[in-house]
Amino acid sequence: MKFDALARASREVIMPRLSPRHLRVSDPVRPRRARASRRRLSRAVGLLAVVAVVAAAALPLHRATALRQGQAVWSVKCNRASSAPDDPIVFPAQPGRSHLHDFFGNVSVKADTTTASLLDAGSTCLKGMNEVDRAAYWTPALLANGRPVTGPADELRIDAYYSVSDKPLPVRSMPVGLRMIAGDSKAQRPQSTDIVHYNCLHYPQGGEVTRSSSAIPTCPAGSYLSAKIVFPGCWDGSNLDSADHKSHMAYPVRNACPVSHPVAVPTLAIRLRWKTARSIPSSQLALSSGGQFSMHADFWNGWNPAVMRWLVDNCLNAMRNCTDIPRNLIKA
């Protein structure tokens, strides 16, 4: 972490603004005392700057930065793990019943997945997070002229962002085994872009090239197709799932969780990155769930509880930016 700005800030707060030399009046009676006083002040400023640097160095997150509440976040990158026409939330124990899905994170997901099987399996999440994030994330496959878009696993990946979003603090950890769906897999009309949208991003590093849209755009040269799905962040406090896989969760209303869903949990947003989907006309692209408007995502929580609690306490409730945090910075 760079501490130069922090040290400068300490000096700016403590150092008095001195007048130009030709306007200052010297003290002929006590010049030694004045010089000694200036030396003491200089030493005090230096000491306080050192203290500030040491205190900052003691922070557990070297990239942590104090933020406004709604910007507090941690994130993890996960490569595609597999593809299959399975959905263990919607069609449990019914292999082949679903449309084609791309699975990210947990490597064991199939029709008969359970929370126990997730916790025993590996993960494709990066920077050592495969040790602690065994959650399963999945989305409909992207089709180009009716065929799944393929490519290297690291070019078909997600960034999973966990944030406070528009809820009051504190938030609580998600319970292990929580399952939920965001978006409408049967939508034939545009969904709210606050929940589901597409963008074109610069290849390969990212950064928006086009504005958010409800339909798949034709990405210009030098960019690739991306989508974002935002999950609800308010839980009813008792059910890990519901009949429609949505009713036990809710989105905040007027910056607060509704009375029916009083428990604020991290708001999960998935950023899908199809880096191999470049220069493909929009007319040739569709989702395996049908058309371009049916984007949605499923989530099954398999996080290590102690690690998620640490991230909630030290990133979200502490209002810090822990984007792309590696495992070795998490003290749990």
- Among candidate residues 217, 180, 75, the one with its CA nearest the CA of residue 208: 217
Question: Tens digit of pLDDT per residue, the chain (332 long)?
Answer: 333 333 333 333 333 333 333 333 334 334 444 444 455 545 544 444 433 333 333 344 544 445 565 689 999 999 999 999 999 999 999 999 999 999 999 999 999 999 999 999 999 999 999 999 999 999 999 999 999 999 999 899 999 999 999 899 999 999 999 999 999 999 999 999 999 999 999 999 889 999 999 999 999 999 999 999 999 999 999 999 999 999 999 999 999 999 999 999 999 999 999 999 999 999 999 999 999 999 999 999 999 999 999 999 999 999 999 999 999 999 99
pTM check: above 0.95: no
Are 38 and 129 in a shared domain?
Answer: no
What is the predicted pLDDT for the residue at 236? 98
**Residue-range definition of the domain harbouring residue 303:** 69-329
For residues 6 and 9, what is the distance between their CA atoms, to the nearest angstrom? Answer: 5
Question: Does residue 259 form part of some domain?
Answer: yes
Question: Does residue 23 form part of some domain?
Answer: no
Residue pair 292/283 in contact by the 8 Å Cβ criterion: no
Tokens of 169: 């603090």
CB neighbours (10 Å) of residue 230?
22
Are 130 and 240 in a shared domain?
Answer: yes
- Strand ranges in the chain using DSSP code E only, listed in sequence order: 73-84, 101-105, 136-140, 142-144, 147-148, 156-163, 179-183, 196-202, 223-230, 234-235, 249-250, 263-264, 267-274, 285-287, 296-300, 321-322
What is the predicted pLDDT for the residue at 230? 98
Are 80 and 47 in a shared domain?
Answer: no
Length of the chain: 332
Question: Does residue 299 form part of some domain?
Answer: yes
What is the predicted pLDDT for the residue at 205? 87
What is the predicted pLDDT for the residue at 71? 80
| Residue 192 one-letter amino acid | S
Which pLDDT tens digit goes with each residue over 294-319?
999 999 999 999 999 999 999 999 99
What is the predicted pLDDT for the residue at 19? 35
Question: Does residue 62 form part of some domain?
Answer: no
What is the predicted pLDDT for the residue at 175? 98
| Residue 85 one-letter amino acid | P
What is the predicted pLDDT for the residue at 106? 98
Are 33 and 92 in a shared domain?
Answer: no
Residue pair 234/265 in contact by the 8 Å Cβ criterion: yes
Question: Which residues are bridge partners to 272 per DSSP?
Answer: 158, 227
Which pLDDT tens digit goes with each residue over 63-75?
444 556 568 999 9
Are 98 and 187 in a shared domain?
Answer: yes
CA 318 from centre of chain: 15
Are 14 and 84 in a shared domain?
Answer: no
What is the predicted pLDDT for the residue at 69? 59
- In the chain, the number of structural domains is 2
Are 223 and 138 in a shared domain?
Answer: yes
Question: Does residue 325 form part of some domain?
Answer: yes
Are 114 and 229 in a shared domain?
Answer: yes
What is the predicted pLDDT for the residue at 173? 98
Question: Does residue 277 form part of some domain?
Answer: yes
Are 112 and 36 in a shared domain?
Answer: no
Are 213 and 281 in a shared domain?
Answer: yes
Question: Does residue 110 form part of some domain?
Answer: yes
